[in-house]
Structure 1
Amino acid sequence: MSFNPLAEKGIPLEQQYRNWRELNVTPLDPEPPDPYTTTRVIALNAIEAESIAFKHNFFRRCPDQDVRRTLAEVRYLENQQQRVVNWLLPGVASVLETTLGYEQNAVDLTAWVARMEPDPYLKQAYEFGVLEDFDHLYRYANLYEMVERRKAEKIVDGLTEVMPGRPTIQQHRHPIDHVNEPYDRNTASPLSKLHALTIMAAEQQVATYYMNVGPQYMEPIARQLYQEIGLIEQQHVTHYESLVDPGETWWEQLLNHELCEVYLYYSFFTEETDRRVKAIWELHLNEEITHLQIAADLLRRHDGREPEELIGDSLPQPVRFESNKAYLRELMADQMDLTKLGSGYVREAHERFEWMQQQIHGGEKPPSERVIDEHRARFGTEYRLETEGPHPIAGLRASADEVNR
């Protein structure tokens, strides 16, 4: 059944203000029956953070005081939403346990987007990136067992496998090779625009989180691994944000951001298994419907266009968090040896890639390789969670040399 948020009755802004008791939500059980409840929390926190940051930037460049007041009010209410969402995360979870949730979110959300993306070029961008986040999950899982003596299967619950993706050592490229071609704002489907905003927001959140939590560790290998992977996540932000057409007007961008929030809250409301959390998604959905309709009115007044011209009259198929094991194994078998050259993809290492590798590594093993070596030295093997048979590239180990054999 189609869902048209422009035709729905939302909650008026004056009824969206909450007191401290309402904001102080009870966090999730640290061992929820559905691990994807945690990834839904992480994904929605990311899109709220992106929407708030966008409104700050718009506010700083907008000369219209009435619009600035509207942005300030909506942004305040979305700050309340973000606090409710982010405070659902259990305080007893360690930084590494939250990190594993972030990487599981990145893997399964990006895999879903790649599977659903109608534009071949954009689809390739998501397929390329997901194999790198898949490898990050593997590196952090090994660090988790070393530092906390626990296994990542406690977090991912077998829904996402833990094994090498495209080795992190190979992910350090020249910055210009992460700048992709943007979609065309006039021809791209609303779904493609939603996908780009969603994954951009998710990667920005990860990059910010790793920058903040990495220095909190005392273990040298942990500090170094967060630093290395955090640098890759910054590259990923460039990789995904470059897909968005920079020619979109501020009013277009505002509409797309609000639609993205509506889309994710609607999607996760339809699949949430935790009844208490489901009620929060429903409340925020109805609040965001009003925010979207405000953005639609601003588009009409300032851009002279109807919102349906840009976003259609119904939401796309809802996003689903589900296991993507078979799909990821296909990608590993077909695309593990890809790298970037300009806005395209190649299978052979090129001069600029090799130059950047030398600048970054200088002949030394990076933390992402050493964490596996240390795990093997301590436990006799690396940590993996393979539930569908052996790795699709037979005999794959962690190092880039073995992948490029």
Structure 2
Amino acid sequence: MTFNPLEQQGIPLDQQMRNWRELDVLPVDPDLSDPYTLCRIITMNGIEVESIMFSHNFARVCQDQDVTRKLAEIRYIEQQQQKVVNWLLPGQSSPLETTIFYEQVAVDLTAWIARMEPDPYLKQAYEFGVLEDFDHLYRYSNLYEMIQHRKAEKLVQGLTEVMPGRPTKYHHRHPVDNVRDPYDRNSAAPLSKMHALTVMSAEQQTMNFYMNVGPQYMEPIARQLYQEIAMIEEEHVTHYESLVDPGETWWERLVLHEYNEVYLYHSFMQHESDPKVKAIWELHLNMEIEQLRIAVELFRKHDKRDPDELLPPELPAPVTFEPNKEYLRHLLDTQIDLTTLGAGYVTDAHERFEKLQDKLMAGELPPSELVVDQHQTQFGTDYRAETDGPHPVSELRQQSGSKA
């Protein structure tokens, strides 16, 4: 069934305000929940945070006070939406357990988007990034067993494999080599624009989360690992945000933000297994439909354009959380040795890459290597959970330390 949100009736904005009792949602049970329910929660928190921060940034440069007031009104509602979404996360989960779900989001959301992306250049950007998040999941899983004595496979429930990806120590690149070429706002498919906004938002929230929770640990190796991977998440945000055409107008971006929220709430409502969470996705969808209508009105008034020039006639196929094991193993076989040079990708380490590596490592192993070494010392082996047998290529390259 087709769904065009511009033809739907949402909840009027003056009826969207919720009281404290309505905001005090019951969190999900981490022992009973589908891991992908937690992934959807984490994703939508990142999407709401991006929308809120975009609105703040827009307000800071907007000279029309009527528009600024309308942005503030919508933003307050979106703050309530963000609180409800993020407060669904269970309080009994440790920051490290939540971290593992953040990385499961990064792996399976980015892999799915790469599979669906119609633009080859954008597709390559997602394929490159997902192999790094795949390795982050492996590093944090080693840390998790060391300090909490539990196995990450119990959290991800076999939906996502835990094994080495592109080694984290090779993710540190010169900043100029993290900037990609943007899509063309006039020719890019609407789906491509939403993909870029979605992955950028998810990675940005991961960066923010690690920046804040890392120093809360007492264990030196935990503090060090969060610090290292938080730096890489900054690289990833640069990588993905540079894909967005900087020529998009503020009004255009406002519409795309609201449309993407509609798209994702509608998508997740289709697949949600938890009835309580599904009801929240449905409620927020109906709120976002009205917020999108207001954004389109502003777009028409200020950009003097029709939304048909920007938006598709119906929502694309739903974004889906599902296992991507075969796809990821294919990428491990074919792209593990890639690094970046300028806006492109190469298989040979180059001068800028090597100079930064030398400066940063200073002849010592980084935390991402130390955590595996310490796990091997403590347990006699590294931690990994491969559901279909060992992967010889990634294992061989990890042991040999080969790079490009």
Q: TM-score range by the shorter chain?
A: over 0.9
Task: Give the counterpart letter for 1:121 in structure 2.
Answer: Y
Instruction: Give percent identity, aligned residues only.
Output: 68
The 8 Å contact of residues 180 and 243 in structure 2, kept in 1 or not, is answered as yes
Secondary structure at the counterpart of residue 396 of structure 2: coil
Distance 1:26 1:138, change over 3 A: same
Give the Cα–Cα distance (whole angstroms) in 1 for the partners of residues 289 and 394 of structure 2. Answer: 49
Secondary structure at the counterpart of residue 311 of structure 1: coil
Match of 2:80 in 1: 80
Match of 2:101 in 1: 101
Task: Give the counterpart letter for 2:324 in structure 1.
Answer: N
Superposition deviation, residue 397 in structure 1: 6.2
Give the Cα–Cα distance (whole angstroms) in 2 for the partners of residues 162 and 188 of structure 1. Answer: 34
Give the Cα–Cα distance (whole angstroms) in 2 for the partners of residues 317 and 188 of structure 1. Answer: 17
Task: Give the counterpart letter for 2:137 in structure 1.
Answer: L
Give the Cα–Cα distance (whole angstroms) in 2 for the partners of residues 206 and 336 of structure 1. Answer: 22
Match of 1:296 in 2: 296
Match of 1:90 in 2: 90
Give the Cα–Cα distance (whole angstroms) in 2 for the partners of residues 109 and 402 of structure 1. Answer: 28
Give the Cα–Cα distance (whole angstroms) in 2 for the partners of residues 47 and 241 of structure 1. Answer: 14
Task: Give the counterpart letter for 2:175 in structure 1.
Answer: P
Secondary structure at the counterpart of residue 147 of structure 2: helix
Moved over 6 A (4+): none
Distance 1:117 1:194, change over 3 A: same
Secondary structure at the counterpart of residue 345 of structure 2: strand
Superposition deviation, residue 33 in structure 1: 3.8
Match of 2:38 in 1: 38
RMSD over equivalenced CA pairs, Å: 1.0
Give the Cα–Cα distance (whole angstroms) in 2 for the partners of residues 141 and 355 of structure 1. Answer: 30
The 8 Å contact of residues 111 and 328 in structure 2, kept in 1 or not, is answered as yes
Give the Cα–Cα distance (whole angstroms) in 1 for the partners of residues 271 and 214 of structure 2. Answer: 33
Give the Cα–Cα distance (whole angstroms) in 1 for the partners of residues 70 and 114 of structure 2. Answer: 35
Give the Cα–Cα distance (whole angstroms) in 2 for the partners of residues 307 and 397 of structure 1. Answer: 49
Superposition deviation, residue 394 in structure 1: 6.0
The 8 Å contact of residues 168 and 368 in structure 1, kept in 2 or not, is answered as yes
Gaps of 5+ in 2: none
Superposition deviation, residue 404 in structure 1: 3.6
The 8 Å contact of residues 251 and 303 in structure 1, kept in 2 or not, is answered as yes
Give the Cα–Cα distance (whole angstroms) in 2 for the partners of residues 53 and 325 of structure 1. Answer: 34
Give the Cα–Cα distance (whole angstroms) in 2 for the partners of residues 3 and 392 of structure 1. Answer: 45
Gaps of 5+ in 1: none
1:94-116 CA distance string (max 9 Å, x none):
01000000000000000000000
Match of 2:228 in 1: 228
The 8 Å contact of residues 173 and 357 in structure 2, kept in 1 or not, is answered as yes
Match of 1:210 in 2: 210
Give the Cα–Cα distance (whole angstroms) in 2 for the partners of residues 291 and 392 of structure 1. Answer: 50
Secondary structure at the counterpart of residue 91 of structure 1: coil
Match of 1:256 in 2: 256
Match of 2:401 in 1: 402
Superposition deviation, residue 321 in structure 1: 0.1
Superposition deviation, residue 389 in structure 1: 1.8
How many pairs are equivalent? 404
Match of 1:145 in 2: 145
Match of 1:335 in 2: 335
Match of 1:14 in 2: 14
Match of 1:124 in 2: 124
The 8 Å contact of residues 166 and 336 in structure 1, kept in 2 or not, is answered as yes
Give the Cα–Cα distance (whole angstroms) in 2 for the partners of residues 35 and 149 of structure 1. Answer: 20
TM-score for both structures, normalised by structure 1: 0.98
